[in-house]
Amino acid sequence: SLFRLKDLEVPKLGDCDVHVKMLAAPINPADINMIQGTYPLLSPLPAVGGNEGVGEVLEVGRRVKALKPGDWVIPADAGLGTWRTHGVFPEEMLLKVPSDIPMLCAATLSVNPCTAFRLLADFESLAPGDSIIQNAANSGVGQAIIQIARASGIKTINVVRDRPDLAKLVERLMALGADHVITEEMLRKPEMKDIFKSIPRPRLALNCVGGKSTTEMLRHLQPKGTMVTYGGMAKQPVMVPVSAFIFRDVRLRGFWMTQWRKDHAQDQESMAAMMDALCQLIHRGQLTAPACTEVPLQDYRAALQASMKPFVSSKQILLL
């Protein structure tokens, strides 16, 4: 096993440091990929796992200006190592969030909702009434996309894998505000035309799967539409028919939240604007945490195993 629970000394607090008591941290697919060494970010070993979570500030160094004891903080960047009870971090590695939002919303805020926000904002200028199509719609990002789109009046067509409890999943996504939930098989069926009687064809397709269903999703894009790939869960390439390029001029783009953060490291305003927008949606009840299973830290092994099972629609959250 790659994992051990270890007791470590809490380091001394430097002038620019913040002592954080971690409250909760999720297990995300990228965390697992980092541990397997299949992710472009590698922490020097031995390392603490976990790229996101929420903590409470206990103490701050004398040069720390923006944070005070009692504040809630989340990582400003990937690679913080959130699967721990306490940590001492430089102030610039942390972002303050309101402490009156639900803890699980804060714990799951910095990766999936931020990714969803950027995917909807940065590639096509969408107006109320426009539509988007996305696969793996029950993922953490997928659930955030449904809710953020709903709050902006954008219609969503949500593709999920067929499964034994499909009806239950459809019901849950509809309750979040999904307009249509379909299986990958339905993408190929003539009934797809019925959907486009009531809503326009999507200008934006969001892909985190790859393989055949992605090619099918592309067929439904408007001419000059954009497909953004931000994950590859099927571990298969994206295949695009030549005709889609020539006759419909579709655009293929990629997105990685970690890269966006790097590119905007000096641009505090766009970061703050995104966090404000997301926290406002949370305050209004328009953005909720994904379905979560809370697990005490000592049961981390069970949580890791559960997070790798297929068709799990619940995110494992370590309570610290």
The full set of domain ranges for the chain reads: 17-108+289-319, 112-258
Options 3.30.200.20, 3.10.310.40, 3.40.50.720, 3.40.50.970; CATH of 112-258: 3.40.50.720
Give the Å distances, CA to CA, from 234 to 131, 169, 238, 288, 311: 25, 20, 10, 27, 13
Residues of the chain above pLDDT 70, percent: 98
Burial of residue 247 (number of CB atoms within 10 Å: 0-12, 13-18, 19+): exposed
pLDDT digits (tens, 9 = 90+) for 109-157: 999 999 999 999 999 999 999 999 999 999 999 999 999 999 999 999 9
Residue 88 — φ and ψ, nearest 5°? -115, 120
Overall average pLDDT of the 259-281 stretch: 93
> Which pLDDT value is given to residue 65?
93
pLDDT tier, 45 (very low <50, low <70, confident <90, very high otherwise): confident
Nearest-angstrom CA–CA distance, 294 and 297: 9
Q: What is the pTM of this model?
A: 0.91
Q: Are strands 315-319 and 17-26 parallel, antiparallel or unpaired?
A: antiparallel
Topology of domain 17-108+289-319 in CATH is: Quinone Oxidoreductase; Chain A, domain 1 (3.90.180)
Overall average pLDDT of the 255-282 stretch: 93
> Which pLDDT value is given to residue 154?
98
Nearest-angstrom CA–CA distance, 299 and 126: 43
Q: Are 302 and 280 a contacting pair, CB within 8 Å?
A: no
Instruction: Output the CA torsion sign for 143, 231, 293, 96.
Output: negative
How many helices (DSSP H) and strands (DSSP E) are in the chain?
A: 11, 13
Q: Is the pLDDT of residue 1 over 60?
A: no
pLDDT tier, 9 (very low <50, low <70, confident <90, very high otherwise): confident
* Residue 254, number of CB atoms within 10 A of its CB: 11
pLDDT digits (tens, 9 = 90+) for 60-103: 999 999 999 999 999 998 888 999 999 999 999 999 999 999 99
Q: Are 17 and 61 a contacting pair, CB within 8 Å?
A: yes
> Which pLDDT value is given to residue 107?
96
Nearest-angstrom CA–CA distance, 79 and 275: 19
136: left (phi over 0), alpha (psi -120 to 50) or beta: left
> Which pLDDT value is given to residue 234?
85
> Which pLDDT value is given to residue 41?
72
Buried (b) or exposed (e) across 16-34, using 16+ Cβ within 10 A? ebbbbebbbbbbbbbbeeb
Nearest-angstrom CA–CA distance, 122 and 183: 27
**Over the chain, what is the mean pLDDT?**
92
Active site residues: 39
